[in-house]
């Protein structure tokens, strides 16, 4: 049975990280004011390895990519493809409002004024 399963799975090895991802990784690093050497020091990687990842010559293992992204105060998430434009719009808005990359966390949904007033009245009653 195991033999049948593996014959239908095609191995996929990326030739490099997508260009837009590499650009965002580099942008996040430079926003923090870190050199490739500094990022490498924080990750336990040589500067040449960081350069290879950013240039697309090196494809990092998943755990290395996850560490890389999290050290830059970002995260990798899976989202339904249909929601990609909405998430990208949120990211663009965040970057416009907080060019330094810093900002407060906020809920993904908006509370209208009426709901907010109801919550305030409930708190006042208690």
pLDDT of residue 16: 78
CB under 8 Å to 122, separation ≥6 — which residues? none
42-85 confidence digits (pLDDT tens): 999 999 999 999 999 999 999 999 999 999 999 998 999 999 99
Q: What are the structural domains of the chain?
A: 11-125 (1.10.260.40)
Q: Is the pTM of this model over 0.95?
A: no
Instruction: Assess contact for 61 and 70: CB atoms under 8 A.
Output: no
Helix and strand counts by DSSP (H, E) for the chain: 7, 0
Whether 8 has a pLDDT exceeding 70, the answer reads: no
pLDDT of residue 31: 93
Instruction: Record the tokens describing residue 30, joined without a space.
Output: 């430079």
**Per-residue CA distances from 74 to 15, 18, 29, 54, 68 (Å):** 23, 17, 11, 16, 9
Using a pLDDT cut of 70, give the percent of the chain over it.
67
Torsion of Cα atoms, 58 then 62 then 41 then 45, to 10°: -50
């Amino acid at each position: 049975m195991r033999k049948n399963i593996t014959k239908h799975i095609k191995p996929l090895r990326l030739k490099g990280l997508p260009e837009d991802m590499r650009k965002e990784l580099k942008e996040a690093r430079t926003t923090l004011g870190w050199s490739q050497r500094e990022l490498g020091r924080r990750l336990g990687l040589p500067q040449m390895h960081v350069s290879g990842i950013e240039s697309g010559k090196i494809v990092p293992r998943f755990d290395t990519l996850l560490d890389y992204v999290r050290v830059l105060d970002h995260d990798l998430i899976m989202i339904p493809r249909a929601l990609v434009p909405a998430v990208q719009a949120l990211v663009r808005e965040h970057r416009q409002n907080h060019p330094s990359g810093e900002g407060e966390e906020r809920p993904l949904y908006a509370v209208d004024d009426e709901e907010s007033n109801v919550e305030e009245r409930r708190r006042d009653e208690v």
